[in-house]
Amino acid sequence: MSPPAATPGSRAVSRHFGGAARTYDAHADVQLSAARALIALLPADLQPTRALDLGAGTAPMARRLQERLPQTHWLALDIALPMLQEAQTRGRLNARYSAVCADVMRLPLAHQSMDLLYSSFALQWCQQLPALAAELTRVTAPGGVFALCVPVAGTLGELRDSWAEADSAPHVNRFHTLQDWEAAFVAAGWFTETAHQWQVQQHYPDVRAISHMLRATGAHHVFRSQPQGLTGRRRLQAMMAAYDTRRTDAGLPVTWQIGQLVLRRPE
């Protein structure tokens, strides 16, 4: 489980998520709920020999995935080594669910070696969807299935819009649409079995609590073309004031738009 060679962007993602290894499970309510829902969408006819949990993190779904497919050998892949070390500490790795630290864009896997790919709340960090689709197609056997769940366009909209009222710098990543995801894999030769999108809204007492949740789950990384300077106190206060205008009786809203796809490669 040595750290992979990675691009500057993927190194930053690895660093942020690695720093959240010990706090992720306690704060990832939406993420874990979405991952459980994705397991329920796995096709009933699945009998994979080898499967890949892409962006496995601390492997919170290891037990459920093995119960669903007890004859399958799983690889739990993540770019953040501390996440996989935490999975090992928590007793989630075993002979049939082993870890590999690697970049999803450069998978250390043989051509057509996987029968099932499962990934929940991980691949949203991949900006180049055609390249990602090509790499996942390379490692998937004909007839193989890809079950995907990602936050899509509209996610964290309140935070993005509040920052936009304070300054013009990017503070929240822009997410692909579900249609973007589907189109990239259809173009790579996959066909769609399931496509579904829904909205989840959480509420927090203040912006600090929102920031704490994002950092505790590693979701605070923002892709930037230039290094970020210090955020001035005045701009931070302006953002917080703008966000407070969105307050409801339940608190400050945080909206997640969640997309699910189940795709299959032709035989």
> If you average pLDDT over residues 166-191, what whole number do you get?
93
Residue 226: predicted pLDDT: 44
Q: How is 79-115 classified by DSSP, letter by letter? A: S-HHHHHHHHHTT--BTTEEEEE--GGG----TT-EE
Residue 19: predicted pLDDT: 63
Residue 259: predicted pLDDT: 98
- Judged against a pLDDT cut of 70, whether residue 231 lies above it is answered with no
> If you average pLDDT over residues 111-127, what whole number do you get?
95
Q: Is residue 187 part of a domain?
A: yes
- Judged against a pLDDT cut of 50, whether residue 41 lies above it is answered with yes
Residue 26: predicted pLDDT: 79
Number of domains comprising the chain: 1
Q: Is residue 21 part of a domain?
A: yes
Residue 20: predicted pLDDT: 67
Q: Is residue 90 part of a domain?
A: yes
Q: What is Dmax (Cα atoms) for the chain? A: 58
Q: Is residue 225 part of a domain?
A: no
Give 163: exposed, middle or buried? Use CB within 10 Å, 0-12, 13-18, 19+.
buried
> Where does the pLDDT of residue 264 fall: very low under 50, low under 70, confident under 90, or very high at 90 and above?
very high
- Judged against a pLDDT cut of 50, whether residue 225 lies above it is answered with no
Q: Count other C-beta atoms under 10 Å from residue 44's C-beta.
A: 4
Tell me which residue range forms the domain holding 47.
Answer: 8-155+173-200+255-264
CATH number at residue 136: 3.40.50.150
Q: Is residue 232 part of a domain?
A: no
More confident of the two residues 97 and 8: 97
Q: Is residue 192 part of a domain?
A: yes
The residue whose two tokens read 């992720």 is 24
* Mean of all residue pLDDT scores within the chain: 89
Residue 203: predicted pLDDT: 97
> If you average pLDDT over residues 217-222, what whole number do you get?
63
